[in-house]
Structure 1
């Protein structure tokens, strides 16, 4: 399994961990990770610390996530390596996401 979801009800956080390549092959699994949750969370963390590769489809999936959850919810992109973080910054994702 390339995606796992953990929730912390006390802190109102849902964490989506991605392992390996973050590309179009994960489209349905990634969308289900946040849309199939029983409720909306204040913070969504997308843990990218084990992502080796990211393509334009992954960028689109992140934008779909941003549009698919409540506007008040915060999305944190965490753990990205320097190369992936650079792609996120060039794509101006720092304007719509909290990149850590």
Structure 2
């Protein structure tokens, strides 16, 4: 389980890549990935292509991210496998995030 953050100042984009289980054990690391950034970025991409497991705590962390960044920032959830994408759709995350 780990998180990698890539920042592109030219395009005002932050990519947060998650590997392994996306659960409560990543709470502090996930929050730190976006909350302490000094610039206002337009696009935040959460790369879920390497996520094997997602629980309700992860859903809560994504909602906290949405609330912290506000509606002016775009958040994309990318690369989720079909099982995780189904969880996101059932939870109606497609109303708050762009899911690819």
Using structure 2 for the length normalisation, give the TM-score.
0.97
CA distance in 1 between counterparts of 2:76 and 2:54 reads 16
The residue number in structure 2 matching 1:35 is 35
After superposition, give the CA deviation of every residue in 1:8-43 in whole Å (9 maximum; x if it has no partner). Answer: 111110000000000000000000000011122100
Instruction: State yes or no: 1:75 paired with 2:75.
Output: yes
Query: Where do 4+ consecutive residues of structure 1 move more than 4 Å?
Result: none
5+ long unaligned stretches in structure 1: none
**How much has 1:66 moved relative to structure 2?**
0.0
CA distance in 2 between counterparts of 1:71 and 1:91 reads 19
Using structure 1 for the length normalisation, give the TM-score.
0.97
The residue number in structure 2 matching 1:3 is 3
* SS of structure 2 residue aligned to 1:4: strand
